[in-house]
Amino acid sequence: MIVKLDNSNKDQLIRYLMKEEEYNLFILGDINNFGLEKDFLEFFAELNSNNEIIAVLMRFYDEFIIYCEDNIFNVDEFSKILVSNNFKGLSGKSNIVDRFIDKVRVKNKRNMYFSKLMDDSKLQTYKLNGNVIITEESSLDGLFELYKIEDNGIEYKNKNQVRREFRDKTARGFHILNNKSQVIACVRTSAEYKNSAMITGLCVHPDYRRIGYATELMSILCSKLLEEGKYPCLFYDNEKAGRIYRKLGFHELGLWSLWTDM
């Protein structure tokens, strides 16, 4: 049976998601920030005969995340929810998302490695000449300009979400400026919870690569997180990025899929 959850189910839902906190950072972060009863945020759960949660589908506007601990769930009923909401994105563990392959149509499918850092033994700080600064909400326009350069002039689409995260202190980051006060490298978190944090937004200006800025920023941010007892996690889908992360001590936990209809 699939039901829509409300705030009375919050504790039960969190207990289920905490079985694999790292994989559920985005869901847990949204629960922590918004609760379970918002017009843009909905939670659907499949319950077994004992009213225990065995699968969860979260809607954040028109994008969805699916989670199931053992990959046994009613894919047909969850597919109906996706279609009825005109979904634009579906993400989750690859083995779970793949269950929808004959159920929904999407235009793009992207597979990424999901990795976690357990200790700081391989982190490196070079103390480069770049001016490393703690990112505040007032600094974000510079980050967005850098993302625009990285994406060949395409505007970063999640500006409002990132601004809200920094304003609410649910995200943090560091960036480097050149002598013209231009952001030339940055990294930030996107979701933090009790024991884990998702790292995202790592970007270096094309004119400043191969200097060590990415390693420097990653090491600084990861050190801060580990000091607080939070294990850094991240996604990547290219070998160049993978080499940087493995060099810092990240190890792969599995595959994550992102399907979009845009």
Per residue in 238-248, pLDDT (tens digit) is: 888 899 999 99
- The residue whose two tokens read 């000449």 is 129
pLDDT computed for residue 115 by the predictor: 97
Instruction: With a cut of 70, list the residues of the chain below it in pLDDT.
Output: 128-130, 262
Whole-number pLDDT of residue 8: 96
In a domain? residue 239? yes
Same domain, 190 and 240: yes
What burial class does residue 56 get, using C-beta atoms within 10 Å of its C-beta: 0-12 exposed, 13-18 middle, 19+ buried? buried
- Whether residue 115 lies inside any domain: the answer is no
CA distance 145 to 155: 8
**Token couple for 158:** 């999640």
Contacts of 63 (CB under 8 A, 6+ apart): 87, 88, 89, 90, 91
Largest CA distance in the chain: 64
182 plus 93 within the same structural domain: no
pLDDT at 157: 79
Return the pLDDT at 223: 96
114 in a domain, yes or no?
A: no
Q: Are residues 211 and 138 in the same domain?
A: yes
Are 43 and 57 contacting, i.e. CB atoms less than 8 angstroms apart?
yes
Look at the chain and report how many structural domains it folds into. Answer: 2
How far is Cα 142 from Cα 225, in angstroms, rounded to an integer? 23
Residues 76 and 177 in one domain: no
- Where does a domain end: 105, 139, 161? 105
> Would 79 be classed as within a structural domain?
yes
Q: Report yes or no on 201 lying in a domain.
A: yes
On whether both 57 and 170 belong to a single domain, the answer is no
Residue 69 covered by a domain: yes
The CATH number covering residue 161 comes to 3.40.630.30
Please indicate, yes or no, if residue 52 is contained in any of the structural domains: yes
Q: Return d(Cα 22, Cα 29) in angstroms, integer.
A: 11
Tens-digit pLDDT profile for residues 111-155: 999 999 999 999 987 776 567 899 999 999 999 999 999 887 777
Does residue 123 lie within any of the structural domains?
A: no
- Domain span at residue 74? 2-105
